[in-house]
Amino acid sequence: MNQALQQALRPHHQRLDELIRELRSTAAELFDIPYRPTVTGSNLEAAHRPYWVTQNWNTSVSPVPEGFLDRFLPGELRKYRLQKRLYEEVETVVTHNIENLRWATLRNLDDAFRRFSSNIDERLKEAAEATRGAMRAAHLRKTQDEESTEAEIGHFKQQAAELAALEKTLLQYADALRREGPDG
């Protein structure tokens, strides 16, 4: 049952791994951050082991044990009643064992799907948090880049103003030289 369950859930684990890998890779590309693949694994082990009963315990409160009166019956009737009692006991034991197997299997399947669902939720939450972290890092870097760019633009504007003032001074000097003439 464990193998069948793992085989049934394996494609879903692989698809989840593929989607998360694609999400992280895309986030790394978009936000220019390093891509770190995640390590995955699925653990779908049976936690509930069925137990096996080999006899049906008589829980009767009667002081006379079952089959006690059979001693006084003729042989053929005694044999028939013994066979009937054994058949009923075997049927009861088999029914108990089948129910024990069914219950353990049902519990294991329920637990496995619960763990699988929890694993999916956890991994998607981690991927979403990693993407949000990448977005925050990219936004912070963009803000820092804007601040440094604004500072550089301010510096360049100041240098441009100084160059414009220098150019104006040079033009005035050149104009003054031209007015004075070559002899001046």
**pLDDT tens sequence across 114-146:** 988 898 888 888 888 888 887 888 788 888 888
pTM above 0.85, yes or no: no
User: What is the average per-residue pLDDT within 96-112?
Assistant: 89
Handedness of CA 129, 131, 137, 143 (dihedral sign): negative
